[in-house]
Amino acid sequence: MVDTGIALGMVAPYYNLALVAVVLWLFRLLFKTEPKAKVFLFPWKLLFFAVLIFIAEEILTVLRSTGLIDIPLHINAFFEIVIISVFIYALLLQQEYVKKRFG
């Protein structure tokens, strides 16, 4: 059972990058919407920025696991703090937009 957990931990960054490719494709479709649609895209642009930070974090994790770079593990925590902060800010922006527009 322990070997399965270790194996999953070793391949997790690779399938995370594969799944984020699907997310990038969905963002591409979202950003292709017509300007006439009057969609409030700024929070989505912030989320796209957070996804790009996640991609950088996962690439560093893969490079660290292959031994190509040697950086401390706590660097990932800084990436995650930035990602969570951007998510919270995007959520608050969307909340303000909905309050002004509909309420």
Residue 103 pLDDT > 80: no
Would you kindly state where each structural domain of the chain is located, as residue ranges? 2-102
91 neighbors 49 (Cβ within 8 angstroms): no
Task: Enter the pTM of the model.
Answer: 0.85
pLDDT range class, residue 1, cuts 50, 70, 90? low
Q: Give mean pLDDT, residues 3-27.
A: 89
Residue 94 pLDDT > 80: yes
DSSP 33: S
Q: CA nearest 21: which of 58, 46, 75, 69?
A: 58
Residue 46 pLDDT > 90: yes
Where is pLDDT greater, at 76 or 38? 76
